[in-house]
Each structure stands twice: as C-alpha cells, then as structure tokens.
Amino acid sequence: MKTDIFHIQIVPLEDIMPHEEFDESRAWPLVRRLKEEKFLANPIIVASLSGEKYLQLDGMNRYSAFKLLKLPSIACQIIDYNDQESVELSSWVHLFRGQKDDFLKYIDNDKDFSVRQGKAENVGHRYIKEEGIGRLCTLCTRDGEVYLISTNGKLWEKVEKLNRLVDYYKNKITRDVLPVNTNWADIKLLFAEHPEADLMMVFPTFTRHQIVDVVNRKQLFPTGVSRHIIKRRCLNVKVPLSIFEKNSSIEKQNEELEKLFSKRPFRLYEEPTIYFE
C-alpha cells in the first residue's frame, strides 16, 4: 500500500540487503514470539536501491527471525533515503558488563588499535574520518574514565575493526542513546539507568553515503550501531504470518496486504510522543 503518508509493501527477503549484523540473543526470542502471536507487529524499514533491491535500515532482528522461520518475504516500510526530513541518522551506544582492564588488554593486543585517555567533553556525537588515522570509537567506564580508541585505514577497514571490538561483548549488549550535547552528568545518568553495566562504547554517526558504500562492498556494520530516526514510522500494523506462509507470488501477497489495510483505520501523530512501555 502506497499513500501520500506512507508506503508499506511485502518484499522478498532475497531482495533486501542488510547493513548490520543480527543479534542472536534477540532474534531467537523474537522467533518464539512470532510463532505464538502469529503476526508481524511492525514492518522493517528499508530504502529502495537501484536494480529492485532494498537496503535494510531498521529491523534486522525481525528480518533475521523471518529467515530463521524460513519465510520467504516480509512487510517493509519503504522510505526515501535521500529525504533528510523523513529520516535522520544517529548512533546507539552499547552498555555492557565487563572489566575495563580486560577489555583494554584485548584492544592493546591488537596492533591495529591505539588507545589514549580522554575527557568527558570528548564523548558525544561525531562523524568518523573516512580515511587515514582517526578516532574509531570511545570507551567510558562507570568510574568516570574515558578512553579514545583510534585506528588507521579506509572506511571499510574501520568497519571491519569495529566488528572486532564489538565481538568482545556482543552477547551482552544493552542499547541506549546519548543526548545531543553530552556532559558527564548525562553519562552518569545512563549508567544509573543500567546498573548491570560497567562499560559503555560510544560510536560515530555514519552518513548515508558511508552506509551504502559499506553494504555495496558486501560488509556489515556491528549490530545496534547505526540508528535511523524515521518520521511517520508505521507501527502496530499486525500483518498475519499466514500471508507470508502461503505459497503465492509477491503480487498476490501484496493484494492481501491491500485488503487487510483497507479495513484498518490509522491515525497520524505529527507531534513527538512519549510512550510508556
């Protein structure tokens, strides 16, 4: 269904190019929930690429759960990636339990990285240097220490190294976001909200061009690093899994989707909303 407000369509999984690794600890519980509920609550977010391909922007775990369920297609909200008013790019932070000295030793043993101490004012939203020596990410501790992790190379090499860092703790990730203008009080508050975490990794924000370039090289970003903030995101669509399970063409599946939505009223909320879970 395509309207002036949104575009939702069923797309073959094979036509979707993921941009990030999937989080196995989240994907398998989602598989169980999908089996129990028998519907997809929220479509994944994709951008249309040339050659009838789509770039996955959000919903990697839903995409992975459908693959694990051996479903051939999935409902997608298709957005214009070049429309800066419709989609804003940012980044997540990873909070996790771990020993600072052990993690720093792991980093120090890899000759591709260099680490130096920083200050709270070094923590915050930033872009990455696309080529050459520059900061890759920032490590913060609950005790107030800041470490700046740098590396050399081209963008795709830096993404590969970022994956190596996240591999150290990838089964322990809790995601959150930093305020726009970050100070030490904000960092302390994040740790207070996540008492299970001792360490926090802060990532740069990647541009649209950088994300597409990395995907075209058949590479993936670490799970939960890039953050796409979508205006007019469609939620609670509740598409029955039976639509995807049928041995029918994508055209027939989309016809069923049209019929489903023709009976479903929706509301458009333009103002920012605070949603208590």
Residue 53: CB partners within 8 Å, gap ≥ 6?
A: 15, 16, 17
CA distance 275 to 277: 6
8 and 260 in contact (C-beta within 8 Å)? no
* Chain segment 73-98, per-residue pLDDT in tens: 999 999 999 998 889 999 999 999 99
Which option is the CATH number for 8-88+230-262: 3.90.1530.10, 3.40.50.1100, 1.10.3720.10, 3.30.70.1350?
A: 3.90.1530.10
97 and 198 in contact (C-beta within 8 Å)? yes
CA distance 229 to 82: 13
115 and 78 in contact (C-beta within 8 Å)? no
- Segment 164-178 shows an average pLDDT of 93
Above 80 in pLDDT, residue 274? no
Q: What sign results for the dihedral spanned by CA atoms 56, 62, 63, 64? A: positive
* Chain segment 24-80, per-residue pLDDT in tens: 778 899 999 999 999 999 999 999 988 789 999 999 999 999 999 999 999 999 999
Dihedral of CA atoms 129, 130, 134, 139 in degrees, nearest 10, equals: 80
For the record, the structure tokens of 220 come out as: 């993936």
Above 90 in pLDDT, residue 197? yes
Weakest-pLDDT range from 112-116, 167-171, 182-186, 273-277: 273-277
Q: State residue 25's pLDDT score.
A: 79
Domain with CATH 3.90.1530.10 in the chain: 8-88+230-262
- Residue 151: helix, strand or coil by DSSP? strand
89 and 206 in contact (C-beta within 8 Å)? yes
Q: State residue 272's pLDDT score.
A: 73
Q: State residue 270's pLDDT score.
A: 77
Of the pLDDT bands very low, low, confident and very high (cuts 50, 70, 90), residue 245 is: confident
Above 70 in pLDDT, residue 277? no
Q: State residue 77's pLDDT score.
A: 97
223 and 21 in contact (C-beta within 8 Å)? yes
Of the pLDDT bands very low, low, confident and very high (cuts 50, 70, 90), residue 6 is: very high
